[in-house]
């Protein structure tokens, strides 16, 4: 089975070299997969309109949907970015096959002023299905950006499947997520549920 074309989207501050997103990109490339791991402009001071433009340019650069499966893996702030993208003007050429939203902040999270533009995305299952054939949400049970109860509310509102990783925190390097075999399996084959590293 051929590997999908994978677009990996970082959150606030980017993904450092030890982050699972960089590990995932390396693993996929090692096995012959096409990977795009862009660096958004001003990762420490994000602007929603700019990041949306950059996201859409990377989606537009993906190969045609008929030629390869197209997958998006969005961590943290990029999860909220994806929801804003989905609720925006619909372009069928930008629709992807699968999206994994990893540890997005709660839609009303107020503990980080620099992400205020990204808060309160539209939680509409219709636009989420319009942007991707399938979407899945995975969170840690001890994430200070989003409680499990808040994640369940988001999953219910979007009508998507939710995986909760026990002890996962924000599913980042600080939580021990430098390599994460389950997310690689999900990208390669859609295997679920997502499990700890």
**What is the predicted pLDDT for the residue at 91?**
95
Q: What per-residue string of b and e applies to 146-177 under the rule 16 or more CB within 10 Å gives b?
A: beeebbeebbeebebebbbbeebbbbbbebeb
In a domain, 195, yes or no: no
| Sign (positive or negative) of CA dihedral 168, 149, 182, 119 | negative
Q: 72 near 102, Cβ under 8 Å?
A: no
Three-state DSSP at 24 gives helix
User: Domain for residue 194, yes or no?
Assistant: no
Q: Return the pLDDT at 1.
A: 55
98 in a structural domain: yes
* Residue 70 CA to its chain's centroid (Å): 13
What are the residues whose beta carbons fall under 8 Å from the beta carbon of 193, sequence distance 6 or more? 161, 163
In a domain? residue 82: yes
CATH number of the structural domain spanning residue 183: 3.40.50.1820
Is 116 within the bounds of a domain? yes
Alpha-helical (H) ranges within 31-180 are 48-60, 77-87, 125-131, 148-158
* Structural domain boundaries enclosing 72: 5-189
Residue ranges of alpha helices (H) inside 31-170 are 48-60, 77-87, 125-131, 148-158
Residue 97 within a domain: yes
- Classify residue 197: in a domain, yes or no: no
Residue 82 and residue 118: Cα distance in Å, rounded?
Answer: 10
Q: Give the pLDDT confidence score for residue 101 in this predicted structure.
A: 98
For residue 56 the two structure tokens come to 């859409």
Domain count, the chain: 1
Q: What is the mean pLDDT of each run of 10 residues along the chain (197 residues)?
A: 91 94 96 96 97 98 91 98 97 97 97 96 97 98 97 98 97 95 96 92
Cα 130 from chain centroid (whole Å): 16
Domain-located, residue 163? yes
Question: Tokens for 55?
Answer: 């996201």
- The pLDDT assigned to 66 comes to 84
């Amino acid at each position: 089975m051929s590997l999908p074309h994978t677009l990996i989207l970082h959150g606030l501050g980017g993904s450092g070299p030890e982050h699972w997103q960089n590990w995932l990109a390396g693993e996929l490339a090692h096995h012959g997969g096409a990977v795009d791991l862009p660096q958004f402009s001003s990762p420490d001071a994000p602007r929603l309109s700019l990041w949306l433009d950059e996201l859409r340019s990377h989606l537009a650069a993906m190969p045609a949907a008929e030629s390869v499966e197209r997958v998006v893996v969005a961590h943290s702030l990029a999860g909220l970015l994806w929801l804003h993208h989905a609720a925006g003007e619909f372009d069928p050429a930008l629709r992807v096959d699968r999206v994994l939203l990893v540890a997005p902040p709660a839609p009303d999270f107020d503990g980080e002023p620099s992400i205020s533009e990204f808060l309160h995305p539209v939680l509409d299952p219709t636009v989420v299905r319009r942007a991707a054939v399938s979407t899945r949400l995975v969170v840690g049970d001890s994430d200070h950006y989003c409680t499990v109860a808040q994640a369940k509310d988001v999953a219910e509102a979007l009508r998507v499947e939710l995986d909760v990783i026990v002890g996962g925190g924000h599913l980042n390097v600080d939580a021990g997520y430098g390599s994460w075999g389950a997310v690689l399996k999900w990208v390669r084959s859609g295997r679920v549920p997502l499990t700890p590293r």
